[in-house]
Each structure stands twice: as C-alpha cells, then as structure tokens.
Amino acid sequence: MKRVYNFSPGPSMLPLSVLEQAAAEMTDAYDSGQSVMEMSHRSADFTPIIEKTEAALRALMGIPANYTVLFLQGGASLQFSMIPLNLAAPEPGFPKKKATYVETGIWAKKAAEEGALYADVRVGASSHDRAYRVIPAPPLPDPEDAYYHITLNNTIVGTKWTDLPQTGSVPLVADISSCILSEPLEVSRFGILYAGAQKNLGPAGTTVVIIRDDLIGQAPAWTPRLLRYDIHAAEASRYNTPPCYGIYIIGLVLEWLKGLGGVPAIAELNRHKAALLYAYLDHSKRFHSPVEKSFRSLMNIPFSAAVEEPEQRAKLEARFIREAAQEGLVNLAGHRLIGGMRASIYNAMPLEGVQGLIDFMERFEQNWDRTS
C-alpha cells in the first residue's frame, strides 16, 4: 500500500526520510547494537542523543543561553497545570498569584480553566462570542500578574496570533504545540514556550518546554516533585525516565529541517502551501473558509461545504471525507465540536499533498450533486 497524505491535526505525518532512518536503526542505533527503545536514559549511548536533540532545537529556534530546554511527558495539557503550579500557586496561608489568559479557542479555554485551580485567573479577552474565528484585542496585563498566557496557534478553529501582546515585565507564556518551528519566533519575547511534539516535532508522548531561567524554582514546597521545573532542570530532563524514543525521533526531525534550510526555508514553504489552499477556498463557490483572513493559521485550515441546510451540508461533508480517504487524503474531518473539514498542513506535509487535496476538491465540485 502506498503512503497516504495525512491531514490529521495530531498525531500528524512525519517526514518519510525520518521514518526510513528510524526503521533502519530500529535494532541497531548508532552502532550500539541496540534500539533506542532499549537504552538506559542515563547511559553513554543515550546521552549524546538527548544532548544533540537539544542543541539542534536551540540552533533552529535561536534559543538564548539563559533559557532551559526540558523534554517532559504529559502533553501540552499537563503544562496547563505545571505553569500555574510553578509560577502562581501559593504557599499555605497565602493567596494565589494573579495571571491573565486570552481565550482564543477550545485549548486556550481549557488552559484557563486548569490554571484557575492554582492561580487567580483573569480571562482578559475572549473571542468565544465570534466562534473563535478572530484573535481578540489583547488586554494589558495586571502589573501583579505572575504571567500572561496565550495559545499562539489554535488548532481546532484555525486562527493564529500575528501580533504578540505587549506584556512588559510580566512573563508571556505561550502554547506553541501546533506551530513550533513553522516560522521564525523570537524566543526572548517569552517567559515560557511549550509544545506537545505530535504535530511538528515527532511522535506523541514528548513535550518540549523552553523556560527562562529566572522562572525556575518558584514552585511552592507542596508541589509534587514531578511537576516542578527545577527538579527536571537540575537533572537535565532525566529526573525520571524521559520519553527516550520520542526524543530520538525529534532529533531526526530537527536534522531533516536543518537540511531543508532551517526555519526560514520551511516558513516560506508553509506560507506557499497555505496560500494555495486559501486561494482555492476563497474562489470556490462550493467550499467556505470561516476564519477572518487576518487571523488565518498556516498550519490548520478548517473549511465547510457552502450549503445552508444543516442536514444536506452534513451529508455532503461526510461524502467528501469518505471519498477523499479513498484517494489517499486522510483525516480531513473537522474537530468533533466544530464539524466540517480541516486540513492540517504541518511542516512534514509536502506541497504535493496540498495540491492533491485541491485537485480532489475541484473534482468533487464537478460531481457536487451526485447522491451516491
């Protein structure tokens, strides 16, 4: 069976060359006589792998020396708890510290709800009343905020921040799970960046946290040790057994990205891919993009059938998803809470995949009224 074009929002497709290298090294990685899956996380065999992966990430993202890189577990969702626990949770008898969140989608909402368990959370702005199709005007931080949280790219609704909020001395914290390494990002603008790996970095199970050093060590004494950044930083991400194989795959993905020309090169390709698909949607009389143009994501592009009657629209979209899969264009269903369709075109999605989707959509339009 030939490989399909996987438009899943995550876990997403990986570069074919990375998968082939991993397959070739499955039983004997780096002449060690063993798989990375079998290596001790503290061994002389694995140490160069995690160190090389970190060095590659630092180089590609331009991470300053006063930031620590951590490879953790629990996905981005665990960071919804770890961030307020480490930056805003109180010692017994003291009040919670303040934090501002901007709600731009379902994951941003979940982050704020979880943050409120440990911090005095203020949702300073929300685009919920506009179905999250825009990024709202960001509020100024409260001077007493311990941090200010945004979700840089909103996977489900297909929006992204184009202008970062001005937070002054308040640390800006961002979930970059679905846009990490997709285009240049000035790391020094942030206090913490975090990302689940399963979209642009590697397989599910690894989370990357990039944290400014002065923000490490603020967790209250009652914080569980596995949820403290200082514990993980002191042990170079190996306080407990990290997701070793995921870290290895991330390293291969970073080597692949470097070979393409790094982040500037992939950003140019990503903009080209997205422009092609948005141009088609904007000129189509049968399909519609719901996101306002100035906030459109490069990575996640939702769209729907331009049909007013809900039942008829649902049938058309179900047929579209089914027939696309038959042609090797898979995982195009929209999020279960939103419906419609969504094409996630992360770094590893080749231009040919996007063009193949557009070609299929054109053919589907020609057979729009077919009932079977």
- Give tens-digit pLDDT for 140-166: 999 999 999 999 999 999 999 999 999
If asked whether residues 103 and 212 sit together in one domain, one would say yes
Residue 277 pLDDT > 90: yes
If asked whether residues 313 and 247 sit together in one domain, one would say no
What is the arithmetic mean of pLDDT over 8-32?
96
Residue finishing a domain among 205, 234, 259: 259
Please report which residue ranges of the chain form alpha helices under DSSP H. Answer: 16-24, 47-61, 75-87, 106-115, 229-234, 244-260, 262-283, 310-326, 351-366
If asked whether residues 117 and 223 sit together in one domain, one would say yes
If asked whether residues 156 and 37 sit together in one domain, one would say yes
If asked whether residues 144 and 273 sit together in one domain, one would say no
Residue 372 pLDDT > 60: no
Q: Using an 8 Å Cβ cutoff, are 197 and 204 in contact? A: yes
The reply to whether 31 belongs to the active site is no
- The rounded distance, in Å, linking the Cα atoms of 302 and 281 is 10
If asked whether residues 166 and 268 sit together in one domain, one would say no
What is the arithmetic mean of pLDDT over 244-258?
98
What is the arithmetic mean of pLDDT over 324-329?
97
Q: CB-based burial of residue 361 (10 Å sphere; 0-12 exposed, 13-18 middle, 19+ buried)? A: buried
If asked whether residues 71 and 210 sit together in one domain, one would say yes
Any domain includes 146: yes
CATH number at residue 213: 3.40.640.10
Which residues fall within 8 angstroms of residue 82, CB to CB, at 6 or more apart? 74, 209, 227, 229
Global pTM reads 0.96
Q: What tokens does 297 get?
A: 């994501």
Q: What tokens does 291 get?
A: 């996101």
What band does 371 get if pLDDT is binned at 50, 70 and 90? low
The reply to whether 109 belongs to the active site is no
Question: Total domain count for the chain?
Answer: 2
Any domain includes 313: yes
Q: Using an 8 Å Cβ cutoff, are 266 and 256 in contact? A: no
If asked whether residues 152 and 64 sit together in one domain, one would say yes
CATH number at residue 343: 3.90.1150.10
The reply to whether 175 belongs to the active site is yes
If asked whether residues 220 and 276 sit together in one domain, one would say no
- The rounded distance, in Å, linking the Cα atoms of 292 and 312 is 25
Strand order in the sheet with 120-126: 67-72, 207-212, 192-196, 172-175, 145-151, 98-103, 120-126
If asked whether residues 45 and 110 sit together in one domain, one would say yes
Residue 133 pLDDT > 80: yes
- The rounded distance, in Å, linking the Cα atoms of 111 and 175 is 9
Q: Which amino acid is at 128?
A: H
- Give tens-digit pLDDT for 158-210: 999 999 999 999 999 999 999 999 999 999 999 999 999 999 999 999 999 99
With tokens 């689940």, the residue in question is: 196
Q: What tokens does 362 get?
A: 């054109």
Q: What tokens does 104 get?
A: 């731009």
Residue 362 pLDDT > 60: yes
- Catalytic pick from 98, 120, 145, 175? 175
Q: How many residues appear in the chain?
A: 372
Residue 1 pLDDT > 70: no
If asked whether residues 253 and 267 sit together in one domain, one would say no
DSSP 20-55: HHHHHTSSSGGGSSS-GGGS-TTSTTTHHHHHHHHH
- The rounded distance, in Å, linking the Cα atoms of 210 and 285 is 44
- Catalytic pick from 97, 98, 107, 120? 107
Q: What tokens does 7 get?
A: 């438009």
Average pLDDT, the chain: 96
In which domain, by residue range, is 283 found? 261-366
Residue finishing a domain among 226, 259, 292: 259
What is the structure's pLDDT at 308?
84
Per residue, the 3-state secondary structure of 246-293, as one string, reads: HHHHHHHHHHHHHHHCHHHHHHHHHHHHHHHHHHHHHHCCCEECCCCH
Rounded alpha-carbon distances, angstroms, from residue 292 to 284, 289, 295: 16, 8, 6
- The rounded distance, in Å, linking the Cα atoms of 192 and 175 is 9
- Half-sphere exposure at residue 122, Cβ-oriented, CA atoms within 13 angstroms: 17
Residue finishing a domain among 224, 242, 259: 259
* CA dihedral of 1, 248, 240, 115, whole degrees rounded to 10: -80
If asked whether residues 335 and 192 sit together in one domain, one would say no
Question: Hey, CA dihedral for 198, 204, 206, 207, is it positive or negative?
Answer: positive
What band does 92 get if pLDDT is binned at 50, 70 and 90? very high
- The rounded distance, in Å, linking the Cα atoms of 338 and 243 is 32
The DSSP code for 96 is: P
